[in-house]
């Protein structure tokens, strides 16, 4: 007979959050709508609104959990939240948290996401911190902002020298409470994640809390009447779980009623319309950029895709018959298969899955061949800002980890933004409406990638726009290719805030190929 140890841990959300005391540091699982312990976070908010407790919390979480009125938004109350340390923000979908940050109502730090996951590992192991080159020369470097996003004054990052080389030292953060989400708890309290698309560091969160003398709250959908048949299916051992909240209404993905096993590795199936990107549905400028960008990938490449425009690259690769030549990864652990464009980080039919800290180790150490990333701002020195621009608070996500030692970094983005519209007329690209906002700026608002540091690490940096292809060099940005019909001075230099070098001879985009589908349909 299986010894029942879970019964004494079962509790409702209100009782579970009573273990969160004023001034606690908590870590929370989640990636947008995935692995978000929604019922427990809602109870935490209700406790504060009803009784004014717990207050003055610090939240340390690698990724933002929830969207709009879910997840971290439950904690978006001045007084409840005192400090936030995370790798991602979203001004559009988490306005409450964003307002607390921008109005200095709380202290905020933005860490590289991979570093944040690895700090949880280090805390679990009793280490004082993490020594790494990740973040050198960026806004995370204490000689710039030290990862501080507002009035925050405490120093969490230091520069240290080892063997005459500079590194950043990120201090570990003791965890008082870990609030995580799983799928099933068995009679021994073991938590599995068979319905969850990703692992997202929940074991490291639980161990960090346990070894800090803290509390682990696991929210699940159901209880198994026996133990898990295969111990390898256990994500978090029951011996380190203190409270279990069972929420039968819990969803695999917030806002979706059904469990899709193609996102969990449970089944392999062909994708239906709506589950894969439709290239023809993309704006013309995006089709041109992505089709030209795909040419930067080589057969056999291990590829990373960032958020934004690059998530549609797999559709272009399938359209061009190149999908099976490359292996696609995203920063949340999935390798192979097709990234889900609706819930970034999940993959249909993935081939393997690494835990969060491990996928970032692969990236940080140079395991990738090429990464395709979005582009918000770039300057003459190849410095890129993708984290905090034009009043849009995003944080770095995995960007800084990904670009640390990747051989080829390819930025995919339009030359300008905000109202840009292009067309093809008689084989030439025509800018019908220019974007209101420059992306090629004199000085980036924040350095998320340091161009000089990346070049020193041996990376090549390429920028693909609808009008031309650029390379970042030590002498500045070099225009190497141009779309037919585009005038260098009128259509490019006029909208770039710094001098560029024009290659001689200057190659030309094959616009016909970039605007024609394999079945012969032309874009216009």
Active site residues: 331
- C-alpha distances (whole Å) from 452 to each of 197, 320, 399, 473, 477 are 37, 34, 16, 9, 12
Sequence-distant (6+) residues with CB within 8 A of 457 are 404, 405
- C-alpha distances (whole Å) from 78 to each of 153, 175, 238, 336 are 18, 21, 35, 42
Strand 81-86 relative to strand 57-61, pairing: parallel
Rounded Cα distance between 168 and 392, Å, is 27
Most distant pair of Cα atoms in the chain: their distance: 80
Residue 449: burial class (beta carbons within 10 Å; 0-12, 13-18, 19+): buried
Measured on CA atoms in the order 273, 277, 280, 281, is the torsion positive or negative?
positive
Quick one: which of 100, 105, 65, 68 has its CA closest to 86?
65
The H or E element that residue 400 is part of is: helix 399-402
Decide: 460 and 409 in contact? Cβ < 8 Å: yes
Whole-number CA gyration radius for the chain: 24
Strand 416-417 relative to strand 437-438, pairing: antiparallel
Decide: 65 and 33 in contact? Cβ < 8 Å: no
Decide: 74 and 44 in contact? Cβ < 8 Å: yes
What phi and psi, each to the nearest 5 degrees, are found at residue 453?
-65, -40
Sequence-distant (6+) residues with CB within 8 A of 69 are none
Residue 251: burial class (beta carbons within 10 Å; 0-12, 13-18, 19+): middle
Sequence-distant (6+) residues with CB within 8 A of 230 are none
Whether omega before 54 lies within 30 degrees of 0, making that bond cis, reads yes
Rounded Cα distance between 52 and 50, Å, is 6
Quick one: which of 469, 477, 473 has its CA closest to 507?
469
Decide: 205 and 54 in contact? Cβ < 8 Å: no
Sequence-distant (6+) residues with CB within 8 A of 426 are none
| DSSP 8-state code for residue 341 | S
Measured on CA atoms in the order 334, 340, 341, 346, is the torsion positive or negative?
negative
Sequence-distant (6+) residues with CB within 8 A of 22 are 53, 54, 55, 56, 57
């Amino acid at each position: 007979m299986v010894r029942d140890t879970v019964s004494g841990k079962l509790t409702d959300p209100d009782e579970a959050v009573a273990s969160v005391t004023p001034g606690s540091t908590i870590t929370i699982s989640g990636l947008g709508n995935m692995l978000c312990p929604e019922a427990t976070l809602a109870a935490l908010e209700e406790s504060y609104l009803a009784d004014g407790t717990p207050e003055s919390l610090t939240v340390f979480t690698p990724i933002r959990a929830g969207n709009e009125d879910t997840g971290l938004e439950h904690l978006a109350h001045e007084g409840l939240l005192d400090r936030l340390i995370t790798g991602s923000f979203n001004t559009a979908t988490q306005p409450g948290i964003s307002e607390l940050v921008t109005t200095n109502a709380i202290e905020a730090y933005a860490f590289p996401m991979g570093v944040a996951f690895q700090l949880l590992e280090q805390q679990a192991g009793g280490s004082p911190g993490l020594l790494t080159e990740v973040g050198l020369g960026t806004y995370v470097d204490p000689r710039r902002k030290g990862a501080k996003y507002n009035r925050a004054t405490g120093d969490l990052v230091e520069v240290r020298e080892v063997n005459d080389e500079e590194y950043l030292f990120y201090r570990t953060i003791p965890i008082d409470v870990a609030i995580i989400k799983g799928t099933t708890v068995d009679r021994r309290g073991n938590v599995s994640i068979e319905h969850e698309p990703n692992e997202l560091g929940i074991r490291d969160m639980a161990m960090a809390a346990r070894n800090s003398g803290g509390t682990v709250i696991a929210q699940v959908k159901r209880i198994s009447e026996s133990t898990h048949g295969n111990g390898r299916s256990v994500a978090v051992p029951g011996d380190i779980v203190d409270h279990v909240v069972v929420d039968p209404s819990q969803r695999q993905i917030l806002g979706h009623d059904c469990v899709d096993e193609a996102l969990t590795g449970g089944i392999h199936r062909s994708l239906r319309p709506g589950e894969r990107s439709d290239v023809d549905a993309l704006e013309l400028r995006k089709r041109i950029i992505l089709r030209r960008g795909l040419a930067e990938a080589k057969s056999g490449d291990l590829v990373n895709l960032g958020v934004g425009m690059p998530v549609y690259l797999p559709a272009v690769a399938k359209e061009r018959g190149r999908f099976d030549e490359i292996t696609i990864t995203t920063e949340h652990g999935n390798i192979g298969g097709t990234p889900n464009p609706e819930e970034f980080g999940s993959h249909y039919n993935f081939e393997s899955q690494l835990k969060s800290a491990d996928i970032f180790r692969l990236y940080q150490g140079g395991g990738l061949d090429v990464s395709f990333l979005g582009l918000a701002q770039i300057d003459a020195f190849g410095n890129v800002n993708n984290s905090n621009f034009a009043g849009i608070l995003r944080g770095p996500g995995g960007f800084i980890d990904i670009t640390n030692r990747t051989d080829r970094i390819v930025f995919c983005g339009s030359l300008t933004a905000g109202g840009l519209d292009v067309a093809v007329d008689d084989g030439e690209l025509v800018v019908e409406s220019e974007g209101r906002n420059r992306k090629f700026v004199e000085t980036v608002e924040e350095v998320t990638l340091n161009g000089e540091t990346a070049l020193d690490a041996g990376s090549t940096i390429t920028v693909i726009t609808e009008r031309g292809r650029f390379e970042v060099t030590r002498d500045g940005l070099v225009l190497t290719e141009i779309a037919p019909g585009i005038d260098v001075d009128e259509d490019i230099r006029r909208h770039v805030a710094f001098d560029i070098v024009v290659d001689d001879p200057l190659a030309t985009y094959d616009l016909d190929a970039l605007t024609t589908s394999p079945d012969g349909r032309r874009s216009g």
